[in-house]
Structure 1
Amino acid sequence: MSAYWICVYKAVHDQDKVTAYAELAGPAIKAGGGRFLARGNPEATFEQAEVTRTVVIEFPSVEAAVATHDSEAYQEALRALGDGADRDLRVVPGWEG
């Protein structure tokens, strides 16, 4: 079953660090089987939503999503990000109802 990384940027403190993170994170995520589905600020918000950068990435499974996060390549990206942003990153399983 597929799984999704959902990442919301609560605050960006250093755009250069975010850019450095993105340059490293993209290849690490793709190497882990991730596929970017959405990336950017919302076009519309509802129900107390915030206008914050949001990224949605599809993975083949929860295990692949977690393994990608824990990979050395992605951890290198996180080190580059450092304190450059406050983010909320979660892995949500896909639903096949």
Structure 2
Amino acid sequence: MSISFSKKAKIITASLLLAASLPALAAIAKLDNAKSKVTIVFKQMNVPVDAQFKKFSAAIDYNTAKPEASTATVDIDVASFDLGDPQYNAE
């Protein structure tokens, strides 16, 4: 099985993380990995398949005085892709 992630999918993921986190931010915020997850749904033979990435990090630097100067970084380890079953992951 071959999976590729477009630049658009990465930008959407980063935007969703940023949008979900903005209300609680005061300045620099780091992701709480214990309470967070990055998931993906794709179709294989037209059947939706849920999976997640086990290793990722994100940081948001929200500038309250100048919101347009705010930044967000999201790093996802593509090799940590997990389908929830070791046999599926091996494929």
TM-score (norm 1): 0.27
Larger radius of gyration: 2
Pick 1 or 2: higher relative contact order, CA cutoff 8 A, min separation 6: 1
